[in-house]
Structure 1
């Protein structure tokens, strides 16, 4: 079978589409024939070595497909089942080995490409809005990169929960997408903190910031007293060290750097979040925007487009 392998960390040029041995499941594991793999910024961090992994490794952490083999002790899944997953390394491959404890059943009414695009960002949107900061009706929320795959989901979920959503984007085209997703106000990045304060008077209750270095200081400025800064990513680069007194001076702010695996720590929590996300999709409450589908062999081009911010919505790799 073929897979995208990283033998040395670096830029998109290190991605090598090559033949690798076909896997077989160990006890507790399942082999899935890939329908599509999601492309995420965590894949970029793995490729660059920002989140170090032992090389060589097959890239990718999210996907969906059909079960083709099950290992001993697997009772929840059978050959032919439609499944999805997130946080499973090795997903840029024609066949993916997934621990059964990490597999998500895909319900009727959700196609496999949508299922591949939903778990990582969908469950991230779920824990950010239900657990990191419980969004409530009437709250003001700031979502950075509101037209990206993650941002579009956050906008929709926050609106579903009754918040007023302010989004930031870089272009007029992206503004249209953010507004279509439900954003009440859409700003450009330059001067966004001042604009947020003018719109809200007191600042927002929570900032969902996956951009990082270029937005962090303004995000703190845009918060109201005792507001929550949820820094869930660093697309523009890592944030420099923070003096805790800066949180004191800005209004006794809260700062967290969460990650999905800590909010899906048990099977029950994983299935709760995924069940809600797939249920919203099946009922039409949540729309997954897949903006580009690349051949699995063209992961390099997908990474180049993602890092250059040439994309909106979700990117998929398809065998």
Structure 2
């Protein structure tokens, strides 16, 4: 599947998805250049732990740098001449975009612009970039399909991701760069992001604190999320890396959903997490719960259609939350040495 003579540049390589993608490519004998600024949006030690694992591979080269620094981005392209670029560096988080909008403009817009410019001046075989299920906003038609109208984002984060898709399309049109955008749906798993709900709930449990649930306590009209396990995300990603879109008289740009196509009620997800943690610890686990109104920028449901992905590469995510959360809680308790 992988061409070992090619160089892969992964931005955000110390991040959650970036780490697992880089590891998968390195295990296949590929040469991987990792670019990451190691910012402190969440625990830097976790990013460093991921990075240390990647440093065990001879074919891995790490460059500390920020994609919003044009000189750093162009330096990576000029030095390593990547064939395939995967842009996973971004400022993540819906709620944080309301508190600190500046960093979203800096990273998600200026940073992505720098990546596009680098691909323009140093042509690549394929540019793959992270979009997000948040572009669907409050769409009521489910499942969400890639052809849906997505011009009403409800958070700045979502607006930057929609902007990425427009920018990528334009550069693909003007400079014939083969570009693929990936709309990820609520990614979770071991070594994940501490700012994600499942991770935070687990931290709160061990701190003896209640978890905050933003659904008004309305179990009948609970929030739905298409939780997607990290291994499924990476499998979809690596399959798409080797099939860049063709111009065929048009624009070589396309987008894909990568989601589990099986949305779960938030309360069911929490109950499954309690059971998984209980199995890891060998005792009953019940979170203390506080219910609050839904937060600005949050959406009531996410639900991915994966038909386009399956048609393109013969794959659709299938890991159950029971299996995925068990792997997470087993890792969490071992990593943080809690019991």
TM-score bin (small chain): 0.3 to 0.5
TM-score (norm 1): 0.37
Structure having the larger proportion of residues in strand:
1
Structure having the larger proportion of residues in helix:
2
